């Protein structure tokens, strides 16, 4: 597949020790060689790095002092010739080198185009390509581990195995239908189809059972911190974050916006949203914050509802209990270092089966108990990111659900005694849904749309 040579900055924009301009394509080495003063890059061994200078052809003067890595196809990320020019990490230096490279005939890469080429050239499949961005966006070590397993091909191998089972089953049935040498061939084919569809169905079901945990590890638990003003919501967020990202003050009602922060709770990323106090207010600015807070409640995976150990329950507290009924929440009774005025029996009655944690956030007491409660709710207390094949991508989960439904239709058809050639339609649909996960049956439009979400230079 002939493709033009692309180039992009592959390091974050800003000041740093090193900035990298990456080239990939048939002319990557020749373009770099024309600009490089040092060894002849066209003749150096593959996978070597060389010191020299980039010369600006318009002035014939040195534009930058660099180290250049030369990696020749096919043993590269894209399976094309790849050159990486290591510059000083300033904005001017790295952009100047990119500009010179583009003037020599390279084209600016589209978002994700390097990874897209790795996919199109057969080095990785679509699920592995998507895992590249999951690695970049991972918020915790466990999320990183799940993404690494996916990039290594663990999910791909599992999907390919399931597809192969379905393909062999369909082929076997087709052969038996076309060459019916024995009277009992239809019965044998029916039995084989039944056994294999149940086998694949059970495996898809097993993957989907832990899919929600994989999604949590990838995206985080969207967590709303709520309660009446001044019960310690911002202080709790700060205790998690360990720096002042939210406003902390003694004046009630001063947190007027929604502030998001990711924190690591025992390997699980929590997307903390510190909301304005939910209560009626005359202040129009604060009222907007309250309305947004109500919306956040319905959209949250977990609600941390804070009460004050030093105050009796108010109408606002009762209203919040009513608002979160039926949602997943943990009650945090804060300020246990003060005198007790709260009716804990009433709180227990209102909380139902939801956990109640006593804490003094100011003195950092109770945070461990809260972390344990969160881990228990979402992972039954333990997270296994080592042995399980987690599916964490929403697209993959949706396709697995569609594959499961198609197989369920096939199994129902078998139970009703429908002709095998009709049942095979649903089995083939299952095979296609699974193929879309790894890119075998994915449309060009879908592939373009997925890679457009990547960062530039990856």
CATH number, residue 291: 3.40.50.300
Q: What does residue 121 show for φ and ψ, rounded to 5 degrees? A: -90, 5
Judge contact between 204 and 407, C-beta under 8 A. yes
Residues 306, 257 share a domain: yes
Residues 276, 240 share a domain: yes
123 in any annotated domain: no
pLDDT of residue 84: 96
Residues 355, 334 share a domain: yes
Q: pLDDT for 142-162, tens place per residue?
A: 667 777 777 777 888 999 999
Average of per-residue pLDDT across 341-363: 87
Give the C-alpha distances (Å, rounded to integers) separating 204 from 301, 389, 404, 413, 435.
24, 11, 7, 19, 14
Residue among 231, 222, 248 nearest 317 (CA): 231
457 in any annotated domain: no
Q: Which of 353, 379, 405 is the last residue of a domain?
A: 379
Q: How far apart are CA 31 and CA 22, in angstroms?
A: 12
Q: How far apart are CA 337 and CA 349, in angstroms?
A: 23
Residues 221, 359 share a domain: yes
Q: How far apart are CA 214 and CA 254, in angstroms?
A: 36
Q: Pairing between strand 329-334 and 107-108?
A: unpaired
Q: Which of 379, 412, 432 is the last residue of a domain?
A: 379
Q: Terminal CA-to-CA distance of the chain, rounded, Å?
A: 20
Mean predicted lDDT score pLDDT of the chain: 81
Q: How far apart are CA 430 and CA 72, in angstroms?
A: 39
346 in any annotated domain: yes
Residue among 294, 275, 297, 270 nearest 370 (CA): 270
Q: How far apart are CA 206 and CA 252, in angstroms?
A: 48
Give me 283's structure tokens: 């202040």
Give CA angle at 280 (278, 284), nearest 5°: 100
Residues 171, 23 share a domain: no
Which residue(s) pair with 71 in the sheet? 82
121 in any annotated domain: no
pLDDT of residue 456: 67
Residues 340, 242 share a domain: yes
Q: How far apart are CA 290 and CA 171, in angstroms?
A: 61
Residues 365, 266 share a domain: yes
pLDDT of residue 168: 86
Q: Structural domain tally of the chain? A: 3
Q: How far apart are CA 168 and CA 213, in angstroms?
A: 32
What percentage of the chain reaches a pLDDT higher than 90?
31
Average of per-residue pLDDT across 378-385: 60
CATH code where residue 178 lies: 1.20.120.430
pLDDT of residue 248: 43
- pLDDT of 374 strictly over 80: yes
53 in any annotated domain: yes
Cis preceding-peptide flag for 74 (omega within 30 of 0)? yes
Judge contact between 139 and 449, C-beta under 8 A. no
Q: How far apart are CA 246 and CA 398, in angstroms?
A: 36
Element (H, E) at 428: helix 420-438
Judge contact between 246 and 194, C-beta under 8 A. no
Q: pLDDT for 1-20, tens place per residue?
A: 558 999 999 988 777 889 99
Q: Which of 79, 109, 139 is the last residue of a domain?
A: 109
138 in any annotated domain: yes
CATH code where residue 65 lies: 3.30.1360.120
122 in any annotated domain: no
Q: How far apart are CA 191 and CA 189, in angstroms?
A: 5
Residues 224, 206 share a domain: no
- pLDDT of 405 strictly over 90: yes
Residues 66, 31 share a domain: yes
Residues 240, 133 share a domain: no
Residues 239, 356 share a domain: yes
Residues 168, 53 share a domain: no
- With cut-offs at 50, 70 and 90, classify the pLDDT of residue 253: very low
- pLDDT of 243 strictly over 50: no
In this structure, how many other beta carbons lie within 10 angstroms of the beta carbon of residue 382? 8
CA 430: distance to chain centroid? 24
Query: Which of left, alpha, beta for 232 (phi over 0: left; psi -120 to 50: alpha)?
Result: left
User: How large is the C-alpha radius of gyration of the chain?
Assistant: 29
124 in any annotated domain: no
Q: In what order do the strands lie in the sheet with 18-24?
A: 36-37, 48-56, 61-71, 82-88, 18-24, 6-9, 107-108
Q: What does residue 14 show for φ and ψ, rounded to 5 degrees? A: 140, -175
Which residue(s) pair with 302 in the sheet? 223
Judge contact between 300 and 327, C-beta under 8 A. yes
**Containing domain of residue 45, as a range?**
6-109
Tell me which of 32-46, 169-183, 343-357, 391-405 is least confident: 169-183
CA 42: distance to chain centroid? 40
Judge contact between 292 and 318, C-beta under 8 A. no
pLDDT of residue 208: 86
């Amino acid at each position: 597949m002939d493709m033009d040579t692309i180039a992009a900055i592959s390091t974050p924009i800003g000041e740093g020790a090193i900035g990298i301009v990456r080239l990939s394509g048939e002319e990557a080495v020749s373009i770099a060689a024309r600009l490089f003063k040092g060894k002849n890059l066209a003749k150096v061994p593959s996978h070597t790095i060389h010191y020299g200078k980039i010369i600006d052809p318009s002035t014939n003067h040195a534009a930058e002092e660099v180290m250049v890595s030369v990696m020749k196809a096919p043993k590269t990320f894209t399976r094309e010739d790849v050159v990486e020019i290591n510059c000083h990490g300033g904005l001017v230096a790295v952009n100047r080198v990119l500009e010179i490279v583009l003037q020599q005939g390279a084209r600016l890469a589209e978002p994700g185009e390097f990874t897209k080429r790795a996919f199109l050239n057969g080095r990785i499949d679509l699920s592995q390509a998507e895992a590249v961005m999951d690695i970049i966006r991972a918020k915790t070590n466990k999320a990183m581990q799940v993404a690494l397993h996916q990039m290594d091909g663990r999910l791909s191998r599992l999907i390919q195995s399931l597809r192969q089972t379905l393909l062999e089953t369909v082929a076997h049935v087709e052969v038996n239908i076309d060459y019916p040498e024995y009277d009992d061939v239809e019965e044998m084919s029916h039995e084989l189809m039944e056994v294999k569809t149940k086998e694949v169905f059970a495996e898809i079901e097993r993957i989907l059972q832990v899919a929600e945990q994989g999604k949590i590890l990838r995206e985080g638990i969207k967590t709303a911190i709520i309660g009446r003003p001044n019960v310690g919501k911002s202080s709790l967020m700060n205790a998690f974050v360990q720096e002042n990202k939210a406003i902390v003050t003694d004046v009630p009602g001063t947190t007027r916006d929604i502030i998001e922060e990711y924190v690591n709770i025992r390997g699980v990323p929590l997307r903390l949203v510190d909301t304005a106090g939910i209560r009626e207010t005359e202040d129009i600015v604060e009222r907007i914050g309250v309305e947004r807070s109500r919306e956040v409640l319905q959209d949250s995976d977990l609600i941390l509802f804070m009460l004050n150990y030093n105050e009796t329950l108010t109408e606002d507290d009762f209203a919040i209990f009513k608002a979160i009924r039926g949602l997943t929440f943990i009650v945090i009774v804060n300020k246990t270092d003060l005198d007790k005025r709260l009716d804990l029996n009433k709180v227990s009655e209102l909380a139902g089966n939801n956990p109640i944690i006593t804490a003094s956030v100011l003195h950092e007491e109770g945070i461990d108990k809260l972390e344990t409660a969160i881990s228990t709710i979402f992972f039954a207390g333990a997270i296994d990111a080592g042995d399980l094949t987690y599916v964490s991508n929403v697209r993959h989960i949706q396709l697995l659900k569609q594959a499961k439904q198609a197989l369920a239709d096939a199994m129902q058809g078998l139970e009703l005694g429908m002709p095998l050639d009709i049942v095979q339609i649903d089995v083939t649909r299952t095979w296609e849904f699974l193929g879309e996960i790894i890119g075998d049956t994915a449309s060009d439009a879908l592939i373009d749309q997925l890679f457009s979400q990547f960062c530039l230079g990856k």
